[in-house]
Amino acid sequence: MIDEMDFRKSWSFFPTGVSILAAKNQKDSIHGMTASSVMSISLDPPIIMVSIGIERSILENIERSEFVSVSLLSNNQSNIATYFSKPHASNHDFFYNNNDVFFIKDCLGYFFCKKNDFIKVGDHIVYFLEVKEIEFDDKPPLVWYKGKFENSL
């Protein structure tokens, strides 16, 4: 049997980009969570996937929302990643929100997506999101490696 802590530690040796997954609730407030489990799935149509633990409070908002954003953080945004790694109420100060498109201000880039499908796998729900809008700047990424943020590659 594989020990959960050993499994977690083994993945810490694989550097990943850090993102904020966000959805609006029924009152139009934006809720976010830090996510490193994001990946490209399909080019035609453009689909990405995100994995969310079933205990995460954002699930209710994602289930009810038609659109979701994934903001990839730049190397000077570790404070935002830390903020959204903990449960809390929404925080509009971090988000740009115009014409129903929302994403983290000054991020490396974002994907604005429509939910396509989902599947429950183990203790997570994996969402497949069809990318409807995309924008990126040439900035260094924020990277998660060996249990901490790295500001450069």
Tokens representing residue 46 in the block = 């453009």
9 lies in some domain: no
Residue 142 CA to residue 153 CA, distance in Å, equals 9
Enclosing domain of residue 113: 16-144
8 lies in some domain: no
Q: Nearest CA to 124 among 43, 31, 56?
A: 56
Residue 30 CA to residue 25 CA, distance in Å, equals 6
- Tens of pLDDT, residue by residue over 10-28, are 877 888 889 999 999 888 8
Number of domain units in the chain = 1
Residue 139: which CATH number?
2.30.110.10
Task: Determine the pLDDT at residue 151.
Answer: 67
68 lies in some domain: yes
Task: Determine the pLDDT at residue 67.
Answer: 95
The whole-number average pLDDT for the span 126-149 is 92
Contacts of 149 (CB under 8 A, 6+ apart): 18, 78, 81, 142, 143
Task: Determine the pLDDT at residue 12.
Answer: 78
pTM: 0.89
Task: Determine the pLDDT at residue 9.
Answer: 84
Rounded to 5 degrees, what are φ and ψ at 78? -65, -30
Q: Nearest CA to 58 among 110, 19, 101?
A: 19
- Tens of pLDDT, residue by residue over 74-99, are 999 999 999 998 876 566 689 998 87
Please give the share of the chain, as a percent, with pLDDT higher than 70: 95
Residue 50 CA to residue 38 CA, distance in Å, equals 5
66 lies in some domain: yes
